[in-house]
Amino acid sequence: MIPVRPFIYLGKNAPLACGEIPLDALAKKYGTPLYVYSAEHLLYRLRLFTEAFCEQPHLICYAVKANPSLAILRLLDRQGAGFDIVSGGELERIVTVNKSAAARVVFSGVGKTAPEIDLALRCGILLFNVESEGELELLAERASKLRKNAPIALRVNPDVFAETHPYISTGLREHKFGIDIRRARAVYRNAAGYKWIEPAGVSVHIGSQIRSVEPFGAAAGRVADLVTQLRKDGLSIKYLDAGGGLGIEYHAAQPFKPEEKVLQYAAALIQAIRKLDDITLLLEPGRFLVAQAGALLTRVLYVKKNGEKTFIIADAGMNDLIRPALYQAHHEIVPVSPRKGRKITADIVGPVCETGDFFARDRELPPVRPGDLLAILDAGAYGHALASNYNSRPRPTEVLVQGKRARLIRRRETTADMLATESM
């Protein structure tokens, strides 16, 4: 059985490990800050979806934005996964891994450019998720010019509320995403009039880090009703793209059983579309697959007191993992080799010149000293993907662990790398 959290202590007085490899050994070899991913855990999460939806025609399209590492994309491609992309750059990553994987790509996003559309048409992707009437017009123009068929789904906005952070909620009318579901039939009629446009699906995505399955069922039910109407209008709708957004628990104290959560999610969606025949579900998990498969290792530089406050200053900063600063997101933080002694309460911060450069505030943990290693858990999604060179800091190394083997999948950036695109 794969553990819910793949980073575990192998025994009493043993350091934290990923699989069978101690994290202190990886930090010694590759330096810090360092992202470490468990291949086994990622594939385990993928299997949960495959098994839960086994009786429903489906394609699991990994949300590339969560973690676009080529090694992770290759790992998923070898399992036959599809991919949900939001840019031409992400499509370039997919075809770098495997050109034929383009046939399993769904292209989402509100701001597709003509060059990105042309690339997707030439690659022969599975589906364009169209988010506006203006985008539909541009897609029809480019498809006609290139004489390439463009299968589409309109991303409809079902006006379903999902309790999540406002920055990652996308299912209400006031959000920039999608087309009002009440207007969808008219837009589909317009789409059917273009020679090179093929209305083939309907898409919905209501947000990210949603921990209740009920909103997914409600949104899918509204989309299923729309599919029925569109089929009566004479359109051959083959795909229902249910989007992604299934959340995880970042707090260790809160119980989380991924097997149960995926089964509940599958039951809610399948129940919602039960009246539809000959429909393929497209599912777009990202965070749920990769978040808990990853951790960020950082080394303590200083332990500092300012009055009553204690600060643990680490060598990783908000440029390496921005989620706590951007979303006030919680990540469990544990010592790789815990010391005995009285626990302390401290802010765990980085070296970036911002007060907002923190990973945790007033967090209780075992005593630490300069040189100790900390592991910031559940960092596999939107960690390295959101990393930057702020303060002219190089982005971290990435390592993928599979069994007894750890493989470097991204070397650490150098100053030369950062300066290479600039001129004086």
CATH number at residue 149: 3.20.20.10
Buried-exposed string 19-53: b where 16+ CB fall within 10 A, e elsewhere: bebbbbebbeebebbbbbbbbbbbbbbbebbeebb
Would you say residue 1 lies in a domain? Answer: no
Instruction: For residue range 211-254, list pLDDT tens digits in order.
Output: 889 999 999 999 999 999 999 999 999 999 999 999 998 988 77
Domain co-membership, 151 together with 268? yes
Q: What is the pLDDT of residues 307-347, one digit of tens each?
A: 999 999 999 999 999 999 998 999 999 999 999 999 999 99
| Tokens (6 digits) for 421 | 């695109």
Give the domain-ending residue among 255, 287, 319.
Answer: 287
* Residue 102 domain flag: yes
The answer on 252 and 318 residing in a single domain is no
Q: Are both 112 and 33 inside the same structural domain?
A: no
62 occurs within a structural domain: yes
Asked if residue 315 and residue 239 are part of one domain, the reply reads no
Q: Does the pLDDT at position 5 exceed 80?
A: no
| Residue at 2 is within a domain | no
Residue 202 within a domain: yes
Check if the beta carbon of residue 294 is closer than 8 Å to that of residue 36: yes
Query: Residue 403: is its pLDDT beyond 90?
Result: no
pLDDT per residue as tens digits for the range 354-382: 999 999 999 999 999 999 999 999 999 99
Task: Write down the mean pLDDT value for the chain.
Answer: 93
Share of the chain above pLDDT 90, in %: 87
Domain count, the chain: 2
**264, 287, 310: which is the final residue of a domain?**
287
Q: Do 249 and 304 share a domain, yes or no?
A: no
pLDDT band at 56, cuts 50/70/90? very high
Model pLDDT, residue 135: 96
How much is the pLDDT for 49? Answer: 97
CATH number of 349's domain: 2.40.37.10
pTM of the model: 0.94
Is residue 169 domain-resident?
A: yes
pLDDT for 229: 97
Q: Write the burial class of residue 118 (CB in 10 Å: 0-12 exposed, 13-18 middle, 19+ buried).
A: middle
Q: Answer yes or no: is pLDDT of 91 > 50.
A: yes
Can you tell me the mean pLDDT for 65-93? 98
The domain in which residue 325 lies consists of 7-37+292-419
pLDDT of residue 253: 76
In 204-332 the beta strands, taken as DSSP E runs, fall at: 239-243, 280-283, 294-306, 309-314
Most confident among 7-11, 38-42, 164-168, 179-183 (mean pLDDT): 38-42
On whether both 219 and 303 belong to a single domain, the answer is no
Q: Which stretch of DSSP H or E encloses residue 224?
A: helix 214-232
Among candidate residues 18, 54, 123, 353, the one labeled active-site is 353
* Residue 168 scores a pLDDT above 70: no
* pLDDT interval class at 161 (50, 70, 90): low
Tens digit of each residue's pLDDT (9 = 90 or more) over 108-136: 999 999 999 999 999 999 999 999 999 99
Same domain, 195 and 310: no
Same domain, 369 and 274: no
Do 257 and 311 have their domain in common? no
Does some domain include residue 424? no
Condensed to tens digits (0 to 9), the pLDDT of residues 19-31 reads 899 999 999 999 9
CA distances from 25 to 22, 30, 37, 231, 357 (A): 6, 9, 15, 58, 27
Domain boundary residue, one of 238, 263, 287: 287
Cα torsion 155, 158, 162, 164: sign: positive
Instruction: Confirm whether 266 is domain-assigned.
Output: yes
Query: Do 217 and 97 fall within a single domain?
Result: yes
pLDDT at 239: 98
> Which residue reads 């309460």 in tokens?
345
User: What number is the average pLDDT over the span 8-14?
Assistant: 89
Q: Does residue 260 carry a pLDDT above 50?
A: yes
- Mean pLDDT of the region 79-98: 98
How high is the pLDDT of residue 310? Answer: 97
Structure tokens at 102: 């383009």
Q: Are residues 313 and 349 in the same domain?
A: yes
- Six token digits for residue 99: 């050109």
- In terms of domains, do 133 and 275 share one? yes
Please say if 61 is a catalytic residue: no
